[in-house]
Structure 1
Amino acid sequence: MSSGHQTDATQETRPLYALTLRLLAAVAISVNFACVKWVSDRGVHLVETLFYRQLLSLPLALFVVMIGPGLASLRTRHLGMHVSRTLVGMTGMLLNFGAVILLPLAEATTIGFTVPIFATILSVLFLRERPGVHRWLAVLAGFVGVAIIINPGGVHGGVTSLGVGIAITGAVVTSFISLLLRQIGRTEAPTTTVFYFAALSLPPLIVAMVFFGRVHDAGTFALLALMGLAGGAAQLFMTSSLRWGPVSLVLPMDYSTLLWSTLLGWLLWSALPGPTTWIGAVIIAGSSIYIAWRERVRRRDTFKTGVAAD
């Protein structure tokens, strides 16, 4: 789950710092998803999970705005774009959290790696981009990876067709979010977008909590707090990593989430991914990284010659 914001060509880069921030984002995302699954096991409704995730990320987003560009940066002439991003973003979060609840942690994480693959397809449909044969082959390879994971012959404990379907739908919606962020990023700072996503999603969630909110024990509320803080920290680390390094540099760190998710899945649920998941994950990750690399090549060639590579 990468942001559409990229470093400017003239901006100072700190590769090691950027990689460290992205690695911390991967750890935070894994902790966030593990908490989502854990609180669901403890009887927390999905609506409650979404509410506490956004409620606890809002103060963190506001803090980042205050120490960064300042409160004046929250003024916007594009509130409608933020509303659209919030609606799609909440749909994506609902689906992704649902996939984490229904699937083993590692499998849900692996299917989430298909976001760049679906983003390539959506860029053709909505942005009229024209990927060449290299990127289309990478897309095809990514789908082969997904097919390996969900192949009926390779299905193992905890992997259900419903969970896989929700996970894939969540990846499609998340890829659409990346296109929205690319458009919003032309006029809005990333911190502004993060703040409005949290702020605009809370009113409808507060209404929903009237029907779905429950009182839980202290341990469950502690997990919900950890979930919200980890989710907010992940957004912060992810956005900050792109301040100090380009997408093509930091993207490989995203795939370490499979390692952290596997570790947490083993520690908390004694669940380990099967061989097909590892094989599919390698293929999906490789295709996604290749798509990002080809995008970098295309931008570089366009900048130098005015002609994009395929």
Structure 2
Amino acid sequence: MQKRRATIVGFTAILLWSFLAVFTVGSAPMPPLQLNAICFAISGFIGLIWVSRGIGFSALRTVSWKIYAFGTLGLFGYHFLYFSALRLAPPAEAGLIAYLWPLLIVLFSGLLPEEQLKRQHIVGAVLGFTGAAILIGNGASMSVTALPGYALALACAITWSGYSVISRKLGGAPTETVAIFCVLTALFSLIAHFAFETTYWPSEPVTWLSIVALGLGPVGIAFYTWDIGMKKGDIQLLGVTSYAAPVISTCVLVLAGVTQASWPLAVSAALITLGAVIAARTNSRNTDSELTGGDI
């Protein structure tokens, strides 16, 4: 798959994650770990069907257990840390800290031997984070008593950015392995749910529609397309454009009537768009240089 096409495929994950908030609101009041178990069970089931009709399960048996362990820890660890952070700290502040992961992806990508981190990438990432900070942190204030939650949110950001960047090094492992990651994540989430939560089964159809939508999209197909983007696409551009997720998410919430439009949304959208354009222009020049055999 060509790099540009893989980048576009990876961006679909960002679009799907933009619906995470509205579907999560619709899935309330189901406990987060129970919700996690159900959603990943759905996404794992989708993946297993894909595997059975594609490369077959025999191909997955050749994959090292270390890769399965890595992927499962990445998916389960991120969501466990994220939900725990939101329990121990105010959602706005915890969400802002957790959303350091796009910036960390851009910075960590410079450690990869085949990637070159340029000043424009850093500028674009900082602009994007500033836009996300205005959007997510509007009206928020830090609390000392919530420090454990903030620490978990930071660990959450490091976990997902590390998972994403290291996935680049595992380019030889087929994307179909994500199906096993999802199944194992569902299993561990179920175990954690029984250990820490009280089971709740909703009766409202809207709640179940939201849960199924989560499992199909933001906590489902998104992980498969993100894996393709991380392994074969432009990892730095995807890192910068990931800041589009909170903006699109807020727009969706506004359209759904869950929240109201405000000036921070417009300012953050402008900053995030500017950061993405700067990074995109940098990568476009790099591509043109590679095609012509030199600098332009």
Whether these two folds match at TM > 0.5 is yes
Q: Which residue in the other structure is 1:198 paired with?
A: 182
Answering whether residue 166 of structure 2 is matched by residue 180 of structure 1, we say yes
Q: Is the 8 A contact 1:116 1:291 kept in 2?
A: no
Structure 1 unaligned regions, length at least 5? 1-6
> Out of 249, 270, 280, which is 1:282 matched to?
270
Q: Is the 8 A contact 1:37 1:100 kept in 2?
A: no
Aligned pairs for 1:233-252 (under 5 A) are 233-236=221-224, 247=234
Separation of aligned partners in 2, 1:132 and 1:273? 35
Separation of aligned partners in 2, 1:241 and 1:88? 16
Q: Which residue in the other structure is 1:270 paired with?
A: 258
> Out of 62, 83, 106, which is 1:76 matched to?
62
TM-score normalised according to structure 1 size = 0.68
Kindly provide the amino acid, as one letter, of the partner of residue 46 in structure 2: L
How far the C-alpha of 1:111 sits from its partner, in A, is: 7.6
Q: Percent identity?
A: 18
How far the C-alpha of 1:56 sits from its partner, in A, is: 1.3
Q: Which residue in the other structure is 1:223 paired with?
A: 210
Aligned pairs for 1:1-310 (under 5 A) are 7-8=1-2, 25=13, 28-40=16-28, 42=29, 44-96=30-82, 103=91, 112=99, 115-124=101-110, 131-149=117-135, 155-156=138-139, 159=140, 161=142, 165=150, 170-185=156-171, 187-192=172-177, 194-211=178-195, 212-219=197-204, 220-230=207-217, 231-236=219-224, 247=234, 257-258=245-246, 260-266=248-254, 268=256, 270-291=258-279, 293-295=281-283, 297-298=285-286, 301=289
Q: Is the 8 A contact 2:102 2:243 kept in 1?
A: no
Q: Is the 8 A contact 1:32 1:228 kept in 2?
A: no
Kindly provide the amino acid, as one letter, of the partner of residue 48 in structure 2: L
Kindly provide the amino acid, as one letter, of the partner of residue 31 in structure 2: H
Separation of aligned partners in 1, 2:105 and 2:26? 30
Separation of aligned partners in 2, 1:147 and 1:254? 13
Give aligned pairs, total.
282
How far the C-alpha of 1:54 sits from its partner, in A, is: 1.1
Q: Is the 8 A contact 2:10 2:233 kept in 1?
A: no
How far the C-alpha of 1:290 sits from its partner, in A, is: 3.3
Separation of aligned partners in 2, 1:126 and 1:172? 16
Separation of aligned partners in 2, 1:296 and 1:225? 38
How far the C-alpha of 1:64 sits from its partner, in A, is: 1.6
Structure 2 unaligned regions, length at least 5? none
